[in-house]
Amino acid sequence: MYTLFFSPGACSLASAIALAESGLSYQLKRLKFAESEQRSPAYLKLNPKGRVPALATDDGVLSENVAILAYVAQMAPAAKLAPLDDPFAFGRMQAFNAYLAATVHVAYAHKRRGSRWADGEAALQDMAAKAPQNLRDCFALIENEYLPGPWVLGETYSVADAYLFTLTDWLSGLGIDMADFPRVADHYRRMRERPAVQRALAEHEVG
């Protein structure tokens, strides 16, 4: 039994979708950000980063979507959530996921979490103002170079699709219309049709 620590609206949705697709048995534990539960001593013992997602396994706790997604895919080979027998394709999937984590997510965080990088009001405002353009540039790159369709890896569905869906879902929060990126919008629509995505959304967005 796996336990995924999550917060509604957070990037932990990507890991929740992967678990829902995997057929593995899992439970979800919500952290209330409004009550700073991600910084409670009990949670920091599990995940000293004080962030979600974190996945408790029999072998210990894993943090970072990139790691959790690859782990879930490897623990559930029958679900075919990654090209496990093709090292190069697996590397491409990881390159895409790393771009989402290290560049796209971080670009988004400059809007809402600027205090991670600066204290001054002018700097915070500057970062927030630039965030939508940075995110647009990221999604233009994905649209034009990294989404052959129907899935991120082409014909093969993978956990990279769960991760892309999760960050696409944030675009409207920055006033960006996903229709500006037709391939991305089409991908988002197809993801929403998947039963596992519907299950993950219902479980992850509660409360």
| Chain contacts with ligand GSH (rule: CB under 6 A) | 10-11, 38, 50-53, 64-65, 101, 105
Q: Which is nearer to ligand GSH, 114 or 132 (CB)?
A: 114
DSSP 8-state code for residue 48: T
Q: Which is nearer to ligand GSH, 22 or 38 (CB)?
A: 38
Closest CB 182 distance from ligand GSH, rounded Å? 26
Bridge partners of residue 4, in order along the sequence = 28, 55
* Nearest 10 degrees: Cα torsion 20, 26, 27, 28: -50
Closest CB 65 distance from ligand GSH, rounded Å? 4
First-to-final CA distance of the chain: 23
Which phi and psi (to 5°) does residue 25 adopt? -90, 130
Which phi and psi (to 5°) does residue 48 adopt? -60, -15
Q: Which is nearer to ligand GSH, 21 or 64 (CB)?
A: 64
Q: Which is nearer to ligand GSH, 3 or 190 (CB)?
A: 3
Give the nearest residue (CB) to ligand GSH: 51
Closest CB 183 distance from ligand GSH, rounded Å? 23
Roughly what angle, to the nearest 10 degrees, separates helices 195-204 and 12-22?
130
